[in-house]
Structure 1
Amino acid sequence: MSPMPAFLACLSAASAALFQPAAADPAARIVAVSGVVELPEGALAFVPPGLEAPAPLLVLLHGGGGSPKEMLGRFRDAAVRRGIILLAPKSTGATWDMVEEIGRARRALVRTAPTARLSVDPPRINRAFHALRPFVHIDPGRVAIGGFSDGATYALTVGTANPPLFRTLLIFSPGMAYLSGGDHAGQRLFLSHGRKDPVLSFDASRSRFVPALIAAGLQVTFRPFDGLHEIPDDVLDDAFTFWLGPADR
């Protein structure tokens, strides 16, 4: 899918301040030295016990109608095994602003790129990131962004808007593929999709998204699997190995 110029212009403006230095929000409340950390605006983080600093960080974006709690629940065990800090922000609405806006435009049969709400959720991700920072020691060379379903679509867009920060993207069963402009050389992307997915098209990922991502300069690993709209354990393990290398035995 080719990026839409009007969308890219708005995305560039919306992402310009993403992950810039900011003071931590005093409303952040640490629940445990290791465990779940509650952050402002419904965001959650998980810090594995016995973590060796500096540690890798994975920003996780939930699917439509999903929640940060669900994302932590799905990724928590693997994060403990690999010593990964998880950060799961919450979208303003039921799904992420860009996805919601595109869906609204399609229902209204609008043919131009939606532009109204592209700046709503990136600042929320930014604030969650900076609220977490006082509690953890993050390895800046091992920061990735990922997501499932609508969250995968959004992670792809936000991740490609910020190549210096997100060198790796973990994309699970996306519904759309909108890239930001810029140089993506060296940026690595893992994309998985179930062949029998009844919700979002496997063929779109295989035949449209992957070739477009490769053409844009990303280093893409496509991981199809015999399954539905899900993230199987072996696929998640493969994604983490793609990002961090083989797990210590």
Structure 2
Amino acid sequence: MKRAGAFVEDRELDDIVALLPPLLQAVDRLGFVARHFDPPQFGELMAAVGEPDAALAAERPRLDAWPAAMAPVGTALATAADAALAAYAELRAAPDQEDGLAAVFRALRHGPRAQEALYPLARGLPPVGRFFLDPDRRDDADLVKRLAEAPESEVTGVIHGGGEPGARGAFSIYVPEYYDAALAWPVVFALHGGSGNGRAFLWSWVREARSRGAIVVAPTAVGRTWAIQGGDADTPNLHRILDLVRTHWSVDETRLLLGGMSDGGTFSYVSGLEPGSPFTHLAPTSAAFHPVMASYADRDRLQGLPIHITHGALDWMFDVGMAREAATALQAAGAAVTYLEIPDLAHTWPREANNPVLDWLGVA
């Protein structure tokens, strides 16, 4: 077997076979924790997750003796494994920290880091390639073949721009490997929550975009968080990024979605309701909303504007009543509102809502 310019000997192949299942399971379970996190239920959540890191920790030493020639693969696996192990250690320690809530969020940041390290192996290691597909499409032979036969390109896969990845005002993009410039591609702008960044939030969408065929753009706010109040440096930056995307890729001008989580969702209202917004669809999730936003919004902009609101009934930061009011006020003002309320969702990103949003956007 050959990968990254080096031949994989039987010993390294055995190591990969032993390491990948617990590694992928541990990373997947981190996603489960992130999706179901609710501060009052944290103990029960961790008990339900168990110790998927134990098997990973047992296999991790296999990578320590790998030859230098295998560094590209070994480093990626080690980085992902170490990120996952750090996440579980910090999650278990969080209840004893003075800032326990913030400690949980810090621990969960290791999940996207593990995914970012793993992704370059998706082409050469089939289990990793399947991991980065929607579970319902992992047995789609045509899709797997398209991905396998797609040529390597500098304009597909994960790309960072605008400065250091994750830096203020920078952005990260995912373009499906089977991108075809002869087609017009839907674009999802995914805005992170108040304490996040685009480099990490991109991974909230990669599986679905890779499975169904969409370009995902994950910018990082120019300031500490999105410009919800005061001067707005973020809207011009989003427009500049969109213009760059239009320059390098073929985009469907009828399917330009602006959405996000928490502060990012709120800002998708603030920016997306502006009369000059280029975005054709808005999809705020777990977002704050005041009815005055609808009353101040441009009447012409609102008429027929597709808005998909997702909110959790258990949201402890922005009460679900706020989302219900938003749906009512925006519908009354003329918007075409779709409202999705998730009974067991607290204030986290609901991965299971990605496919309904893409269905609504008209992505096959």
Structure 2 length-normalised TM: 0.51
CA distance in 1, matches of 2:314, 2:154: 40
Q: Secondary structure at the match of 2:187?
A: strand
Given residue 145 of structure 1, which amino acid in structure 2 is its aligned partner?
L
Total equivalences in the alignment: 198
In structure 2, what is the Cα distance between the partners aligned to 1:60 and 1:162? 20
Residue 216 of structure 1 is matched in structure 2 by 333
Taking every aligned residue pair, what percent have the same amino acid on both sides? 27
- Taking the aligned partners of 1:162 and 1:242, their CA distance within structure 2 comes to 22
Q: How do 1:131-150 residues align onto structure 2 when only pairs under 5 Å count?
A: 131-150=244-263
1:117 aligns to 2:245 (yes or no):
no
- Aligned-partner Cα distance in 2 for 1:213–1:130: 28
Aligned equivalent of 2:273: 160
SS in 1 for 2:154: coil
Aligned to 1:26: none
Asked whether the 8 Å contact 2:259–2:283 carries over to 1, the reply is: yes
1:50 match: 178
**1:182 — aligned with what?**
299
Q: What are structure 1's unaligned runs of at least 5 residues?
A: 1-30, 102-115
Helix, strand or coil at the partner of 1:38:
strand
Matched residue of 1:97: which SS? coil
Partner of 1:83: 213
State the distance in 2 between where 1:125 and 1:186 align: 23
CA distance in structure 2 between the partners assigned to 1:163 and 1:42 by the alignment = 22
1:32 pairs with 2:146? no
Q: Decide whether the 8 Å contact of 2:261 with 2:286 is kept in 1.
A: yes
C-alpha contact (below 8 Å) 2:194/2:226 kept by paired residues: yes
Work out the CA distance in 1 between the residues paired with 2:214 and 2:305: 20
Structure 2, unmatched stretches of 5+, are 1-152, 163-168
Q: CA RMSD in A?
A: 1.9
Amino acid at match of 1:169: L
- Residue number among 127, 130, 138 corresponding to 2:243 in the alignment: 130
Contact 2:204 2:351 in 1 (8 A): no
1:61-101 Cα offsets, whole Å, 9 max, x none, are 11101110222100111111121111122211121122xx3
> What displacement does 1:213 show?
0.7
Find runs of 4+ consecutive structure 1 residues off by over 6 angstroms.
Answer: none
Please report the TM-score for the alignment, with normalisation by the length of structure 1: 0.74
Relative distance call for 1:51 and 1:39 in structure 2 (3 A) is: same
CA–CA distance in structure 1, aligned partners of residues 310 and 330 of structure 2: 14
The Cα offsets for residues 110-132 of structure 1, whole Å up to 9 and x where unpaired, read as xxxxxx413x1111112222223
The Cα of 1:193 is off from its aligned counterpart by: 0.5
Name the aligned partner's letter for residue 36 of structure 1.
Answer: V
Please identify which structure carries the higher strand content. 1
For residues 193-245 of structure 1, the C-alpha deviation after alignment (integer angstroms, 9 at most, x for no partner) is 11111122111111x21111111100111100121112323322111111115
Higher relative contact order (CA 8 A, sep 6+): 1
SS in 2 for 1:190: strand
Tell me the CA shift for residue 164 of structure 1.
7.0
Matched residues in 1 for 2:276 and 2:334: separation? 12
**Cα distance change, pair 243–189 in 1 and its aligned pair in 2 (3 A):** same
Alpha carbons of structure 1 residues 32 and 166: separation in structure 2 relative to 1, 3 Å: same
Q: 1:90 to 1:216 in 2, by over 3 A?
A: same
Please name the residue that 1:63 is paired with. 193
Q: Aligned AA for 1:117?
A: G
